[in-house]
C-alpha cells in the first residue's frame, strides 16, 4: 500500500448558499484538514504524524539525504503541517513560521531599500508597527496605507517603485471587507505581488488564492490552531518562483516554528470546519443582540445586511466568521463597564480560540497605531471587539446581555 496521501480541498464554487446567501462550503475541506500531508507512519503505522525533534539527519553519503539535512531547512513534522495548510487554501506550497509577524517580516525581506508597498489602512496593529517602525526606518522600504474601497485613492497610491500590495480582509479591528478579485487586478496591472491576510476568516470561509492573490498569510495563533496555545504564522502560494524565494528566506532568516508547535497547530486545524461553523452561529446571535440594544451605537458584522460591504462578503466568502466589532454609546467609562462585567468572555488580546474573548482595541491590540490614524479608522474609546467562541449560544448571549445591563449611560 502507498503511504502517500494527496488531498485537495477542492475548487471554489460560484453559486450562492441558500442558508447564508454567500458561497457554499468549499468541497473536501474537512477531509483535507484531517488527512492532507498526514499519511500513516510508514515504519509504525501510527495514524498521527510523529513529532520529529531531531535537529540533524544522517546522510548515506555527503549530500545524499532522505529529504532532510538540518531542521531549520526542513523537518518532517513541519512539512506535514505546511502541506496540510496549503491544501486548505487550495494552494501548492506552504511555509510555516514562528509567528504571524515573522511570516510578514520574511515576505518583506523580498523587498530592497527604496521599494514601495501599498497596504490597506485598517490592518492589525502589529502589521502596522512592522511596516512603520521596523521595515521603513531599518530597511528603507516605503509604505502608503490607504482605503482600498476608495478606487481613486487606491489607484493614486501606486508609484513606479511599488512592488507589493498588502490587503487584510476582513480587517482588524474594523471588519472592513475589500473585493479581493478587484484588488488583485489592480495590483497585477501595476506588476505587484499581491498578498492577502486571511486570518479573520480562515480557509474555511475564504480562499484568496482562488480570487487572484499571489500569497495568503495567516496568524496561526488564531483560527488555524484555534486553541490559544500556539504562536505561529504560515503563508501559502501557487507561484513556484515566489515559493523558491520565500523558502530560501525561511531557511536564511530562520524564523521557523518548533516541531511541537507544528504538531499542535496540525492537531488544532483538524477541527477547523466544526469550530468555524460554531463560531459563526454564535457570532450571528451576538450581532443580533447588540443590534437591538439601546446602549450600542453601531455594530459591524459581515453577516448583517447593514455591513457596508455585505454584498462583497456574499460574493467571495462561504461564511461570515466569528468576529464582531461594535461601538457603545458614551465613552471610555461605558466600555470599561461592559468589558469589566463580562464573565464568560475573557478580557484578553488575540482571537479565534474555542473560548470567547473580548478586548478594547484602542488600549490593547491597536495601541501602537498612531493616535491620528486610530481616529481616522474609528478606533475610539467606545470600540469593542469580540471573538465569539464555541460555548453554548445561550451562555454567550446571556453574558453579553449581563455586561450590557451593567453599562450606565
Q: SS3 of 59, please?
A: coil
Q: Name the active-site residue from 163, 222, 295, 385.
A: 222
Does the annotation mark 68 as catalytic? no
**Stated length of the chain:** 409
Residue with cell 475548487: 11
SS3 263: helix
Contact yes or no for 194/213 (Cβ under 8 A):
yes
Active-site residue (options: 115, 121, 122, 197): 197
Active site residue 222: yes
Catalytic site residue 41?
no
> Active-site residue among 41, 69, 72, 182?
72
Closest alpha carbon to 17 in 337, 336, 315: 315
CA proximity to 88, closest of 223, 181, 180: 223
Question: Which positions ≥6 away from 139 have C-beta within 8 Å?
Answer: 108, 111, 113
Q: Quick check: is 197 catalytic?
A: yes
Q: Which of 78, 115, 122, 124 is catalytic?
A: 124
Is-contact 318 26, C-beta < 8 A? yes
Contact predicate 116/110, CB 8 Å = no
Kindly give, in sequence order, each residue whose CB lies less than 8 Å from that of residue 32, ignoring residues fewer than 6 positions away.
7, 8, 9, 84, 87, 88
Catalytic residue set: 72, 124, 197, 222
Amino acid at each position: 500500500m502507498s503511504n502517500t496521501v494527496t488531498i485537495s480541498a477542492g475548487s471554489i464554487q460560484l453559486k450562492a448558499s441558500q442558508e447564508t446567501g454567500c458561497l457554499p462550503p468549499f468541497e473536501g475541506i474537512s477531509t483535507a484538514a484531517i488527512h492532507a500531508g498526514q499519511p500513516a507512519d510508514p515504519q509504525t503505522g501510527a495514524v498521527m504524524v510523529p513529532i520529529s525533534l531531531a535537529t540533524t539527519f544522517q546522510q548515506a553519503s555527503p549530500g545524499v539525504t532522505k529529504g532532510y539535512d538540518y531542521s531549520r531547512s526542513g523537518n518532517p513534522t513541519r512539512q506535514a503541517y505546511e502541506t496540510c495548510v496549503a491544501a486548505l487554501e487550495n494552494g501548492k506550497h506552504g511555509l510555516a513560521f514562528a509567528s504571524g509577524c515573522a511570516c510578514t517580516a520574511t515576505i518583506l525581506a523580498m523587498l530592497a531599500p527604496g521599494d514601495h508597498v501599498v497596504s490597506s489602512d485598517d490592518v492589525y496593529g502589529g502589521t502596522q508597527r512592522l511596516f512603520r517602525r521596523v521595515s521603513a526606518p531599518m530597511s528603507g522600504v516605503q509604505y502608503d496605507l490607504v482605503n482600498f474601497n476608495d478606487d481613486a485613492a487606491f489607484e493614486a497610491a501606486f508609484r513606479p517603485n511599488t512592488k507589493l500590495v498588502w490587503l487584510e480582509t476582513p480587517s482588524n479591528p474594523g471588519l472592513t471587507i475589500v473585493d479581493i478579485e478587484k484588488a488583485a487586478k489592480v495590483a497585477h496591472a501595476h506588476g505587484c505581488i499581491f498578498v492577502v491576510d486571511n486570518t479573520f476568516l480562515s480557509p474555511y470561509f475564504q480562499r484568496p488564492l482562488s480570487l487572484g492573490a499571489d500569497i495568503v498569510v495567516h496568524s496561526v495563533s488564531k483560527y488555524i490552531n484555534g486553541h490559544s496555545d500556539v504562536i505561529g504564522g504560515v503563508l501559502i502560494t501557487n507561484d513556484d518562483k515566489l515559493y523558491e524565494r520565500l523558502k530560501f528566506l525561511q531557511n536564511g532568516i530562520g524564523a521557523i516554528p518548533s516541531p511541537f508547535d507544528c504538531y499542535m497547530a496540525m492537531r488544532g486545524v483538524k477541527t477547523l470546519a466544526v469550530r468555524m461553523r460554531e463560531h459563526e452561529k454564535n457570532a450571528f446571535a451576538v450581532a443580533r443582540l447588540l443590534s437591538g440594544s439601546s446602549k450600542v451605537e453601531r455594530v459591524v458584522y459581515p453577516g448583517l445586511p447593514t455591513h457596508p460591504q455585505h454584498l462583497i462578503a456574499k460574493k467571495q466568502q462561504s461564511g461570515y466568521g466569528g468576529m464582531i466589532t461594535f461601538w457603545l454609546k458614551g465613552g471610555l467609562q461605558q466600555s470599561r463597564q461592559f468589558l469589566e462585567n463580562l464573565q464568560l468572555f475573557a478580557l484578553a488580546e488575540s482571537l479565534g480560540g474555542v473560548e470567547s474573548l473580548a478586548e478594547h482595541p484602542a488600549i490593547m491590540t491597536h495601541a501602537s497605531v498612531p493616535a491620528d490614524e486610530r481616529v481616522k479608522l474609528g478606533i475610539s474609546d467606545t470600540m469593542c471587539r469580540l471573538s465569539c467562541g464555541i460555548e453554548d449560544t445561550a451562555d454567550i448571549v446571556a453574558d453579553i446581555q449581563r455586561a450590557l445591563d451593567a453599562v450606565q449611560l
